Structure 1
Amino acid sequence: MGLGTITGLALSPGGFALLENETALTAAEWIALPGTVFLEILKMVVIPLIICSIVLGILSSGSPRQLKKMGAFIVPYFIATSFVAVTIGLSLSLFIQPGHMMSAGAHAMVTDAISTASAPILDELTVPQRITRLIPSNFVEAALHVDMLKIVIIAIFFGVAALTMPREIVKPFEALCLFGQGAAMQIIDWAMALAPYAVFGLMTDAMIHLGFDALSAIGWYMTSVLSGLAIILSLYLFGATVFGGHSPTTFLRAIREVQLLAFSTSSSAAVMPVSIRTAENNLGVSEDISRFVIPIGATINMDGTGLYQAVAAIFLCQIFGVDLSFTEMALLMCVIVGASIGTPATPGVGIVVLATILSGIGVPPAGIGIIFGVDRILDMCRTTINVTGDLTAVVIMERWMKSRSA
């Protein structure tokens, strides 16, 4: 990762510019090839792995009662941590006030950014329409658009249905899921041979395209987001130690491979197979918990994304002079939690969801152009936190389930 950062900055037109602009971009494409291939292999197995893992996780619970225990813990846990993350983001941005620290020249740069950049905006839907859209009426469409939330819901429906059916009817379906899960994990083992080259290539590519701007622009905004992510990480380490029985150093050492991959790929869905393997092999989590919790966590546990959206919303409110009342702030918190839970676990989607949030609080969605330049770096960081949160959840749940069964 370090070599990739240095190499990218050396070749970047926005860095040391050792190569001409077009030559550097061509080199970036070739250097990133191992990383691109690595990502595509992981994406290839993500959907079958999610479905098979969730179904097998539900079936391994043994009974609807045991499943209810697991669901009754993990869903409130993820929602609670999301509210904590958003609260941290709002508090930091109100304390640091990054939007009030921009000079007149910076505001001129902001105006240019807004006039030249735009972000795609999601469909404006009412709450009943959004609830209706959660129902995956078309599996092919959900798979085509890699709509992880709908895919998880489909898997949960099939898993719960199988759990209530006679064993002799379910056995062929369970065997099929066992094959799908085993085949996916084997493919992942093959792909891991590319991991070091993938990290180098992806980091080099990112730095060539972004240059020093990604490391220096809008410093106070970045400081607010990164400080909040650091606080969340410390809370995760506290939870893994006190409630999960893992010391901070042991826990970080066990998950560092996943963290580096998450940082490089900016996709918690892409690294989900590696997260499952890490939970089982490095953290000693049982298969029924890891293969049930992590696919769900990769879909709804977006603490880093929620914090980022909170900081970005307040930052842009401060720039555009939008004053929010306490009630509006509380409503914004609920909207961000809901939006972060429904955010697809793929690179760059968080900023698209942010456009919808901004339109509801009086900030021009085109204002996102202000933070385009540094979003990729922050996307890497918040994805790392999201993945760390998934692994923290499995160690806590592993210990909680053991205490309940003792």
Structure 2
Amino acid sequence: MLLGIVYAVVSVMLGWQRFTADFIAPFGTIFMNLLKLIAVPLVLFSIISGIAGLGSPESLGRLGLKTLAIYLGTTVLAVSLGLLIVNLIKPGESRDSALMLENRIRYELWKKQSGAEDLDDICLTCKPEYAELTAQVSSRMNGTENQDLVASKIEKAKQTQNQGPLAFLVDMVPDNIFTSLNDSKLMIQVIFFGIFFGIALLYIPGERQQVLIDFFQAITDVFLKMVDFVMRVSPFFVFALMAGTISQIAGDDVSKVLPVFRSLGSYTLAVVAGLVIMAFVIYPAIIHFFAPGIRFSEFLKAISPAQLLAFSSSSSAATLPVTIECMEENMKVPKKYTSFVLPIGATVNMDGTSLYQAVAVVFLAQMHGVELSLAQQLTIVLTATLASIGAAAVPSAGLIMLIIVLTSVHLNPAWIAIILPIDRILDMCRTVVNVTGDAMVCTLVAKSESQTETA
């Protein structure tokens, strides 16, 4: 991974961008395609065989409720932690008073144009002494607000918001499973079909049931072996993936790489601090109290291949096959738990993404001189938690969910353009926490179920 970053910087300095794009980056794309190729069918067949392995519908109901309850609990913890950190550090409050003044006027102008709700009684644009500055800011307002990338994400967020309250249930049920299998963004539909099929399988008479269970288990084993083949050459693939990503960011100028790691420093610090605390303080504490006997250092060592892949791919879905393999081979978690808990986690559990959304919303509000009340910050907790359930397990899906959270507290969704330059790096970090959270919950559920069965 580090070699890929170093190579990308050197290649830009030496003018090798074309060579990197033509002969190095494609292997990173192949790597992602291989993992996505394996992920969707692996999820389907592993869920079916996992549910069948539970033995009874009663066991499935208990396992499902327990899994969802823990996932929702850790998500609320993550959002609350993000709000606590951003309110303590206050990364959006700049020492540059002129910049803060301009940002505040920009926000007020947008508020008037959009008809958004007033969040406070401040009105700088109403004061004569700021008339000239207001005119200058107004003339420059056709910048970040109208970028194509921002506009497209805002449009996607609007489509999501305009759906009814039960739209997520409609979206869960596929009208054609083959269409769902063809699109990794429809993973929730594949999971629904797998659970439905697995439940029906529990009611099939003994001999026929066993034939189907053996069949699906054999297919699952084949896909896991495919994962093993891909991971044998993963160091080269990860090098190519990192080299291609960083080279694309840099373009023709190596100095463009530096802002990615340097700009918006306080904001980046707040997000990374929250993610580190979540992964290395809160998760160990949860495991210590609810899964005694499991050392967190051993847990981290066991899932480290999945964490590294999550960082380089920024995709929980692409990492899922490796996460399953790590939990089964290294943590010795039974297949009936990994095949049920982890695929659901890759779709509904986004602790890192939820924490990032909380920090980003308050940061952007602080930057524009907007003080969010306790009630508005509680709205962020609720919206970010619900949005994380619908967030696709693909790179940068969190940006679309962030727009929804910004809109829920009456802030300008176009502000995401401010954090776009460093979003890719932070996306890599938060995906590591997402995957770590999935593995942690899987460990808790397996430990709890084994105690229940023993009792």
TM > 0.5 fold call? yes
Would you say 1:219 and 2:265 are equivalent positions?
yes
Would you say 1:50 and 2:96 are equivalent positions?
no
Would you say 1:298 and 2:291 are equivalent positions?
no
Contact preservation (8 Å) 1:240, 1:251? no
Distance 1:113 1:91 in 2: 29
Contact preservation (8 Å) 1:9, 1:212? no
Q: Secondary structure at the match of 2:166?
A: helix
Q: Secondary structure at the match of 2:197?
A: helix
User: What percentage of residue pairs aligned between the two structures are identical?
Assistant: 33
Would you say 1:134 and 2:127 are equivalent positions?
no
Q: Kindly state the Cα deviation for residue 339 of structure 1 after the two structures are TM-superposed.
A: 0.6
Residue in 2 that maps onto 1:397 = 445
Residue in 2 that maps onto 1:204 = 243
Q: Kindly state the Cα deviation for residue 132 of structure 1 after the two structures are TM-superposed.
A: 2.9
Distance 2:92 2:175 in 1: 43
Distance 2:83 2:30 in 1: 38
Residue in 2 that maps onto 1:89 = 82
Residue in 2 that maps onto 1:3 = 3
* 1:317 partner amino acid: A
C-alpha deviations, 1:316-355, integer Å up to 9, x for none?
2223344433222222211110111111111111112212
More divergent stretch after superposition (318-327 vs 2-11): 318-327
Distance 1:316 1:300 in 2: 26
Q: Root-mean-square deviation (CA), in Å? A: 2.2
Residue in 2 that maps onto 1:229 = 275
Q: Kindly state the Cα deviation for residue 356 of structure 1 after the two structures are TM-superposed.
A: 2.4
Q: Give the alignment partner of residue 315 of structure 2, picking from 254, 267, 273.
A: 267
* 2:191 partner amino acid: V
Contact preservation (8 Å) 2:317, 2:394? yes
Q: Kindly state the Cα deviation for residue 66 of structure 1 after the two structures are TM-superposed.
A: 1.7
Residue in 2 that maps onto 1:19 = 14
Would you say 1:186 and 2:225 are equivalent positions?
yes
Q: Secondary structure at the match of 2:392?
A: coil
Contact preservation (8 Å) 1:34, 1:194? no
Contact preservation (8 Å) 2:168, 2:390? no
Would you say 1:150 and 2:189 are equivalent positions?
yes
C-alpha deviations, 1:67-124, integer Å up to 9, x for none?
2221232110001000000111111112222222263469789965445452423312
Residue in 2 that maps onto 1:240 = 287
TM-score, length of structure 2 as denominator length: 0.82
Distance 2:328 2:233 in 1: 21
Would you say 1:317 and 2:365 are equivalent positions?
yes
Q: Secondary structure at the match of 1:346?
A: coil
Would you say 1:370 and 2:418 are equivalent positions?
yes
C-alpha deviations, 1:138-164, integer Å up to 9, x for none?
323433332112221121111112113
Q: Kindly state the Cα deviation for residue 387 of structure 1 after the two structures are TM-superposed.
A: 0.7
Change (3 A) 1:29 1:76: farther
Q: Secondary structure at the match of 1:73?
A: helix
Distance 2:180 2:402 in 1: 22
Aligned residues: 399
* 2:335 partner amino acid: E
Q: Give the alignment partner of residue 34 of structure 1, picking from 20, 27, 35.
A: 27
Contact preservation (8 Å) 2:379, 2:409? no
TM-score, length of structure 1 as denominator length: 0.92
C-alpha deviations, 1:250-269, integer Å up to 9, x for none?
22222111111110000111
Residue in 2 that maps onto 1:72 = 65
* 2:193 partner amino acid: I
Q: Secondary structure at the match of 1:162?
A: helix
Distance 1:364 1:89 in 2: 20
Distance 1:25 1:323 in 2: 47
Contact preservation (8 Å) 2:290, 2:444? yes
Q: Secondary structure at the match of 2:279?
A: helix
Contact preservation (8 Å) 1:89, 1:225? yes
Distance 1:125 1:315 in 2: 28
Distance 2:18 2:290 in 1: 47
